[in-house]
Chains A and B, each alone.
Chain A
Amino acid sequence: MTGRSSTDKAEADTLGRRSRPAGRRRGPTAGRTRSWRDSPLRRITPWLFLAAPLALLITFTYVPVASMISYSFTDWDGVSPDREYVGFDNYVRIFTRPEFFRVFFVSGYYLAASVVQIAVALYFAVILSFNLRFRSFFKGILFFPYLINGVAIGFVFLYFFQDGGTLDSVLAWLGVTSDHPWLGDPTSANVSLAGVSVWRFTGLNFVLFLGAIQSIPGELYEAAELDGAGKWKQFRHIIAPSIKPVISLSAILAISGSLSVFEIPYIMTGGATGTQTFVIQTIKLAFQFNKTGLASAAAVVLLLIILLITWIQRRLVPDDKVDLV
């Protein structure tokens, strides 16, 4: 309650000050008695605090995006001091070459993997939200992969999938003699890479779910238990509905993430053997074939696709208020 009243007071103060014809009643000498609250600096204080993040946001997000969009209308090769305006030429080229979009099939593997990922993360989040032995330890283990740099993960799993590498040796211990080049053909390569992706990002989903679950008041479980509800019913009727917004957020992240997969396949296979994704293709256009203009247009198209999908998803699954009590 205390927090509430202090905000009210602050609001009243602001209102009071605004309604008062400031400055007229006080003479020019009143400056000495002025408190900090009336100083003109106070008005710009929030802007001072915002200056740093805004400057960073503008320099590192909006300006680059704006210049990327402007490159997408030119034929720039990335080095030359001259670039020519070509209008929508680059966009026309992208949409008249269907092979540019064929790589989205690869995203299907990652999309399927993210269903698994969300399910696994949800399962562990629910289990570990109850009192269990070594609870924190397991939480740590599950979250750990997300903390590792993506490049390092790529290299680690390159050894893992190597011929006679970790995976093959473990399988040999288990008595399965596998002689399968894991990254050797498109299907198994994509499944392997998507598996790495699940390994890496489950922790993030897990933490999101866990946080949401822990905000559910404990009395609800007690009441449910008294009414004779088992764990499954508690999950269905208490946990699932109350973390719905987080699940829908995870789904959005999963879809946009699947469309723009980059690090893991780029480091592990470089897009060879049918593992090329849209972002890898764009990078290659820009930095291998020096078509910076065309690549920028491709990046803009990807951005628009992701925005569109997110928008459709928000329309289909509106962000309901969760009201448990």
Chain B
Amino acid sequence: MGNTKTTALSGAVLAAVMLALSACGGGGGGATGEVAAPPSDPKEVSGEIKVLTQRTDLVQNGTLQKYAAEFNKIYPKVKVKFDGITDYEGEVKIRMNTNAYGDVLLIPGAVAKSDYPKFFAPLGTTAELSKYRFSDKAEVDGKVYGIAQFGTANGFVYNKKLWKRAGVTAWPKTPDEFLAGLKAVKEKTGATPYYTNFKDGWPMVQWTSNLGVVGCDAQASNALAGPVSPWKAGGELNTIDTLLYDIVKQGLSEKDPTTTNWETSKAFLGGGEIATMMLGSWSITQMQDAAKKAGGTPEDIGFMPFPIQKDGKHCAGLVSDYQQAVSVHSHNKPAARAWVDWFTEKSGFAEKEGVVSAVKSAPMPATLKEFVDNDVRFFDRSEAKTAAVNDIDEAAEIGLNKPDYRQKLIDTARGAAKGSLEDFFADLDKRWDEAAKTVGS
């Protein structure tokens, strides 16, 4: 076990890189508070901008370059360069210790909201940007610092053929109906009813995106900002996490969750070996592709809302994806802003990816047609207090948007970790409330 050396060395290299980067910080760049206003004349704005993105696949297959070419038809003098980053959160966070972290970037989750004015140029006032969804997520003191790339609805991606063979054709209306449906899938088709993606972890974070669905409450996320015991009986998170717990407890998930694999899970769902997964609507197009490759058709892939109803209707919360921002240090702010506006409104990216456009007036994408046809009630989940909620979450070391606590939940459900669900929730509540008190003070 002589691995001390390698860990120490890699740690030292990482630390040295961070140090070297932080040494470059300070001074230069643009003035804080200068608004990155959209240019008045598209023909005049010029300069080179670097756009950071987590979609390395779209950089590699040239899709983004095609968007840039389209953009150049309107803004001929702007040169757009893309920088695809695999570990977006981890890497950009470190890069932000310098001034040169790109002109357009997606706001990393690690940046505290109060620091936004130090890193990003304001894009306008709340009123000016009211045509966009989710702008309250990046609003500080009446100014908006980011525009959402797009939004997604949350729900279960499922294999229609399998559910049909199991005899379930209508969407389950309660968690119990949903569990009964999964059980029927298991008994009648032999497929894995639900796949947790435990090993890769991040797909389990999607469960948090259901916040608000239970009570059809756009303020559900904001309501967590405080010592409110989010996992108390009847709470949104209690209902959501109990469903996951029950799925695993009743043996309706894959046999060995510890060695799951995201990439193969897509093929399994398309090919009919897995019946259901909890994901955002962004995943539908990927699943349809995978279904085609596995010998099925895109029509095999369905999307159902969380199995709960309010006033006889299903609800689906729309949650924003990453927010695009303009660096406060950018030397080409008008060009950068032009790209953000164009990409959000005119690129057609949201339609193509089957996600909800950030522009309020844009129609729902084809992937959510079933939701629209079945009168699912959509609501934009407010993100006004997300920063405060994140602070509590981090202080409590729970990780609503990290896989760890749900991995523990699943371990508890399948008996690999000691304790009951009640104790588990009680512990989370205790940690949350204590953290809320210290952060608030």
Contacts and interface: CB of A to CB of B under 8 A. Distances in A.
Interface of A: 59-61, 63-65, 67-68, 77-82, 110, 113-114, 117, 150, 158-159, 161-163, 165, 181-186, 189, 197, 201, 204-205, 250, 253-254, 256-258, 260-263, 269-274, 279, 284-285, 287-291, 299, 306
A181 B255 CA distance: 8
11 contacts: A64-B15, A64-B18, A65-B15, A78-B110, A181-B255, A197-B1, A201-B3, A260-B4, A269-B199, A270-B201, A272-B201
Interface in B388-441: 394-395, 397, 399, 402-404, 407-408, 411, 414-417
Contacts of A163: 254-256, 259
Nearest to A276: B404
Contact of A288 (B9, B12, B399): B399
B436 to A, nearest CB: 15
Nearest to B89: A287
B93 A158 contact: no
A253 B7 CA distance: 13
Contact of A273 (B2, B94, B411): B411
B410 to A, nearest CB: 9
Given A65-B12, A150-B6, A289 B1 contact: no
Given A60-B12, A67-B15, A269 B4 contact: no
Contacts of A257: 1-4
B416 A184 contact: yes
Contacts of A186: 416-417
Nearest to A185: B416
B7 A260 contact: yes
Given A81-B115, A181-B256, 13 more contacts: A67-B19, A77-B112, A80-B118, A117-B1, A254-B1, A257-B2, A260-B3, A263-B6, A272-B198, A272-B258, A272-B403, A273-B411, A274-B417
B397 A60 contact: no
Nearest to A118: B1
Contact of A79 (B3, B110, B414, B417): B110
Given A81-B118, A110-B1, A261-B3, A273 B416 contact: yes
A162 B417 CA distance: 20
A35 B202 CA distance: 69
A61 B394 CA distance: 30
Interface majority SS (helix, strand, loop, mixed), chain A? helix
B4 A263 contact: no
Contact of B3 (A61, A262, A288, A291): A262
Given A64-B12, A79-B93, A162-B256, A272 B1 contact: no
A273 B258 contact: yes
B412 to A, nearest CB: 11
Given A67-B15, A184-B416, A273-B407, A189 B1 contact: no
Contacts of A270: 199, 201, 403, 407
A80 B7 contact: no
Nearest to B393: A289
Contacts of A81: 25, 115, 118
B84 interface: no
A183 B259 contact: yes
B407 A253 contact: no
Nearest to A107: B1
A77 B256 contact: no
B95 to A, nearest CB: 10
Contacts of A184: 256-258, 414, 416
Contacts of B24: none
Contact of A263 (B3, B118, B201): B3
Which of B1, B16, B94 gathers most chain A CB within 10 Å?
Answer: B1
B227 interface: no
Contacts of A289: 394-395, 397, 399
